[in-house]
Amino acid sequence: MFVSRRRRKQRLPKRLLSGSAIALGVAAWSAPASAYRPFDGTDAAVAAPGELEIELQPAGRLREQGTTTLVAPAAVFNYGLSEGWEAIVQGQGQTPLSPSGPTSLTAAGAFLKHVLQPGSLQDKTGPSVATEFGVLLPNSTGNSGVGASLAGIVSQRWDWGTVHLNAETALTRDHHADVFVGGIIEGPSKWTVRPVAELFYENEFGKAETISGLIGLIWRVRDDLSFDVGLRHALTNGHPVNEVRAGLTFGFPLRMFGDRTQQSK
């Protein structure tokens, strides 16, 4: 089963749990957030220089081949390095519930994302074009190794909605070749609550073939804070996969801490 690089079993590290708690605590400190929940794909936008954007899923439910798994927490940290460049670090905890099992850290990775062509997502005309590439890190249990991925993203926004197209090739953690193609469609960006949907096809050669669909809603509370919910149904090698996703996206300027230190002197 495909686990997104954008969402993408030993004890869950305390630092990940602490990081999620901190992320919830700073949700009120705000800068516009453009990271992309609840999808497996992403958009052709990056965080502004000096800004940290956080995609956080406190808890989700995954059902596959008679096994129910708690996905909690899942976190993606996006930091704006410079104009058009973003660094991404991600990971998620998975705990089998039925049958029960230990919590594991999975879907860890580190990536760079670059806007090749500014467009409608950057308040310019035409499509926005970006690339994302990086390293897939081993899971905390099992015999997985290090992998790598390279993706291209094209986004276009109109008054009626927004479309994002993703194409990715990867060497998985199990060292299989993998291809992923998908599309995201959203309702009008001006709507406070907008409907969203995603379709993707993935083939991990010699292991798994997946066709997946998701429908959901994104509720923009303000420009710097959004909540999301999504229901995903997929077929992996002909077996059904069902998932419930719910989380939030927010951002804040890291430089604010330095600014406040200077102001207090």
Burial label, 64 (beta-carbon count in 10 A; 0-12, 13-18, 19+): middle
CB 218 within 8 A of CB 193: yes
Judge whether 7 lies within some domain: no
Q: What angle do CA 78, 232, 161 make, to 5 degrees?
A: 65
Amino acid 224: pLDDT? 84
For residue 3, being part of any structural domain is answered with no
Any residues with CB less than 8 A from the CB of 49 and at least 6 apart, and which? 80, 81, 82, 83
Q: 244: domain CATH number?
A: 2.40.160.40
Q: Which of 192, 182, 241 is nearest to 217 (CA)?
A: 192
The answer to whether residue 152 is domain-embedded is: yes
pLDDT at 259: 52
Helix (H, G, I), strand (E, B) or coil at 58: coil
What's phi and psi for 50, nearest 5 deg? 80, 0
- Show the domain range for 108: 14-263
Is 102 within 8 Å of 10 (Cβ atoms)? Answer: yes
Long-range contacts of the stretch 193-196 (C-beta < 8 A, 24+): 193/217, 193/218, 193/219, 193/220, 194/218, 194/220, 196/38, 196/39, 196/228, 196/230
Query: Measured between alpha carbons, how far is 46 from 44 in angstroms, rounded to an integer?
Result: 7
The whole-number pLDDT of residue 3 equals 44
Residue 227 belongs to a domain: yes
Is there a domain that residue 169 lies in?
A: yes
Q: What is the pLDDT along the chain (265 residues), one digit of tens a residue?
A: 444 444 433 333 333 334 433 333 433 334 344 458 999 999 999 999 999 999 999 999 999 999 999 999 999 999 999 999 999 999 999 999 988 999 999 999 999 999 999 999 999 999 999 999 999 999 998 889 999 999 999 999 999 999 999 999 999 999 999 999 999 999 999 999 999 999 999 999 999 999 999 999 999 999 889 999 999 999 999 999 999 999 999 999 987 554 544 444 4
Say which DSSP state 88 is in: E
Q: Note the pTM of the prediction, 2 decimals.
A: 0.85
Which pLDDT belongs to residue 15? 36
Number of domains in the chain: 1
- For residue 4, is it within any domain? no
Cis peptide before 195 (omega within 30 of 0): no
The rounded radius of gyration (Å) of the Cα atoms in the chain is 18
